[in-house]
Amino acid sequence: MPSMIRNSTKAADSLRGCLVAGLLCLGCMALAGCGVTEIPDSVVYPLRSNALVFLEKAPATAPPGFPPPGKPEMSLDWLAEQQVPLFKPSDLDAKPWGPVWREELNSVLVRHFGSPGKPRVGAADQPALATLAAELFLSPAELERGSHQYRRSCLHCHGVAGEGAGATSAWLNPLPRDFRQGEYKFISTAEHKLKSGFQPLKARPRRADLLRTLHHGLEGTSMPSFALLAEEDIQALASYTLHLAIRGELEYWGLLYALKEDAETLRAIEKNPEKEAQVRAQRLISGALEWEDPEADVEEFVAREKGPLLTAGLERLLERLLREYATADKNAMVPLANPYPADQPVPQTSIANGLKIFQVQCVNCHAGYGRQSALRFDNWGGVVRPANLTIPVYKGGRRPVDLYYRVARGIPPCGMPKANLQDGDPAHQVWDLVHFLMALPYPESLPETIRRQIHGGAKQ
Ligand code: HEC
Ligand code: HEC
């Protein structure tokens, strides 16, 4: 684990972390009478308590550094200093309707996702959800197996609800992923639209992407490979990760709509101040309905709805999220055929062309080929460094096709855009970039002039 950082001056914090981990283990063992992976049915997923970050665009100023070990939440303070709005779930308590909203949100989450011991996706009495869940391999039996394995292998980093704050997490850089925003970095999904013509709410991974991450780990980070597990366990873990991500994202939208103060929401509330909760639920419903029908009539939906409005909206949103994952799975990116002959060495002109494109589109972030990259905020409110591309360590995989996916799709939650392949011949452009990236760390693979420019006198 090369990136694990230990800071001896933070002994008190580290001791507290160990005690919490120790108590958790003892607690589980005392309750279940056996290993730490058994969990009683009374254990429930905690509701989100940390702030939600909604970065519509990256803040103008770079973060001052990585947060120190043990203090990952410090990056949120830096964002707040830059006036980036942070939404705190505890702000709900100040609203007269807040506690009711929270309770309703929680009961929807429990109804549709169960508990760590009895996980599910979609209550059994909703056939539309059950069909989609089955399509995504999210049956209760699969999830129970995944949950069991998750407690053994993932919980100490990714946490009970997938919040990325397990007992080990605060000392790792990069931090274990918070799954609860439904965002992933390493995806091979082609850009696509939903039936309605709308974009998916987030760039979704394919199941194959989760499986790749589990088989290979994320190189250069503490996220290990789980290739030694049985394939059935890896499959179950992919399903359980999806369960946590979908649960977390439904919660995320449920909290965001309660708290966000964008101009449109504020205007709607102003017209009807005594019905703020209803207005906010209606805004959530319109987002939930648009996946199937851009003209969906929210007022008609509301008039027809007999039960609580937020619940109805969240259930439609859950259907949308499941639909988005199922649609993503059918939209694999198909790489353009490599125009260079496979049985000959990569021509030096291809590498030189790749460098030219890189200098226009990539050096802004990957300054000095990534050796002098400035830090950036990511969509979780954390800090990330654009990769040093002179070192051949790639989180998302080292095969040419992995680099192809990164270049052609970008890394959405880190603000890395897809390469612009509009002008000229896209197949040449994208493969030139991949060939350049693959040669970049190895001086002897680069044309002489480029080698001197990038590596000085070094030969290897
Ligand atoms: C030692 C800590 C650690 C353990 C154990 C661990 N992870 Fe991770 N995981 C990480 C870190 C760190 C990242 C994020 C790396 C980054 O964003 O650069 C991550 C990221 C991920 C991602 C996101 C991939 C993407 O495309 O964005 C998935 C999915 C994931 N982990 C699943 C799992 C599962 C499932 C397990 C258990 C089988 C597991 N992890 C165990 C540390 C861990
Ligand atoms: C807006 C900033 C930005 C731009 C522009 C950008 N990148 Fe990145 N790139 C990043 C960040 C941030 C990361 C690190 C993501 C992480 O570690 O989680 C990254 C990581 C990478 C990686 C490593 C992927 C891996 O698997 O670890 C590659 C390769 C890459 N970028 C290539 C490119 C290329 C090629 C271009 C130009 C076509 C480009 N980037 C443009 C921000 C950017």
DSSP letter string over 148-199?
HHHHHHTHHHH-TTS-S--TTGGGBSSPPP-GGG---SS--BPP---TTSPP
How far apart (Å, rounded) are the C-alpha atoms in residues 184 and 202? 9
- Closest Cα to residue 45, out of 108, 133, 87, 139? 108
Going from the Cα of 218 to the center of ligand 1, the distance in angstroms, rounded, reads: 7
Integer Cα distance of 376 and 76 in angstroms: 13
Nearest CA to ligand 2 atom 40: 362
Q: What is the arithmetic mean of pLDDT over 339-349?
A: 95
Considering every ligand atom, which ligand is closest to the CA of 189?
A: 1
Q: Please report the pLDDT score of residue 12 as a whole number.
A: 35
Q: Would you state the structure tokens that stand for residue 458, as one six-digit string?
A: 């070094």
Q: Say how many Å lie between the CA of residue 177 and the centre of ligand 1.
A: 6
Note whether 120 and 114 are within 8 A (CB). yes
Report yes or no: 329 and 206 within 8 Å, Cβ to Cβ: yes
pTM of the full structure: 0.92
Distance 411 CA to ligand 2 centre (A): 7
Q: Does residue 166's CB lie within 6 angstroms of at least one atom of ligand 1?
A: no
Q: Whose CA is nearest to atom 1 of ligand 2?
A: 416
pLDDT (tens digit, 9 = 90+) per residue, 283-334? 999 888 887 888 888 889 999 999 999 999 999 999 999 999 999 999 999 9
Q: Which ligand 2 atom minimizes the distance to the CA of 384?
A: 12
Q: Are 460 and 361 in contact (CB under 8 A)?
A: no
pLDDT per residue as tens digits for the range 196-242: 888 999 999 999 999 999 999 999 999 999 999 999 999 999 999 99
* 189 ligand 1 Cβ < 6 A: no
CB 166 within 8 Å of CB 155: yes
* 276-289 and 309-329 helices, crossing angle to 10°: 20
Helix (H) or strand (E) holding 376: strand 376-377
Q: Which atom of ligand 1 is nearest to the CA of 396?
A: 26
CA of 206 to the centre of ligand 1 (A): 16
Helix (H) / strand (E) element for 404: namely: helix 400-409
Instruction: Quote the CA–CA distance of 318 and 414 in Å, as a whole number.
Output: 25
- The radius of gyration of the chain's CA atoms, rounded to the nearest angstrom, is 24
Per DSSP, the residues of 287-326 read HHHTTT-TT--HHHHHHH--S-HHHHHHHHHHHHHHHHHH
Ligand of minimum distance to the alpha carbon of 438: 2
Pocket of ligand 2 (CB under 6 A): 185, 358, 361-362, 364-366, 376, 384, 386-387, 389, 394-396, 403, 406-407, 411, 414-417, 419, 433, 437
Distance 388 CA to ligand 2 centre (A): 9
DSSP 5-68: ---GGGHHHHHHHHHHHHHHHHHHHHHHSS-TT---TT--PPPP-SPEE--SS--SSPPSSPPP
171-175, 294-298, 392-396, 441-445: lowest mean pLDDT where? 294-298
pLDDT at 4 over 60: no
* 108-117: pLDDT as tens digits: 999 999 999 9
Query: Per the CATH hierarchy, to which homologous superfamily does domain 348-455 belong?
Result: Cytochrome c-like domain (1.10.760.10)
Q: Burial letters for 434-449: b for 16+ Cβ neighbours within 10 Å, e otherwise?
A: bbbbbbbbebebbeee
Q: Does residue 119 sit in helix, strand or coil?
A: strand
Kindly give the distance from the C-alpha atom of residue 184 to the centroid of ligand 2, in angstroms, as a whole number.
Answer: 14
Q: Which of 33-37, 138-142, 210-214, 340-344 has the lowest mean pLDDT?
A: 33-37
pLDDT in tens, 248-262: 999 999 999 999 998
What confidence tier does 30 reach under pLDDT thresholds 50, 70, 90? very low
Atom in ligand 1 nearest the alpha carbon of residue 205: 26
316, two tokens: 């439609």
Q: Where are the domains of the chain?
A: 8-252, 348-455
Widest distance between CA atoms in the chain: 75
Q: For residue 118, give the nearest of 41, 175, 193 by alpha carbon.
A: 41
Query: Which of helix, strand or coil describes residue 114?
Result: strand
Residue among 218, 233, 246 whose CB has most ligand 1 atoms within 8 A, to mutate: 218
Residue 112 has φ and ψ, to the nearest 5°, of: -100, -15
The answer to whether the beta carbons of residues 380 and 413 sit under 8 Å apart is: yes
- Report the SS3 class of residue 411: strand
The CA angle 363-367-371, to the nearest 5 degrees, is: 135
Q: Count the neighbouring beta carbons within 10 Å of the beta carbon of residue 253.
A: 23
169-176: average pLDDT: 95
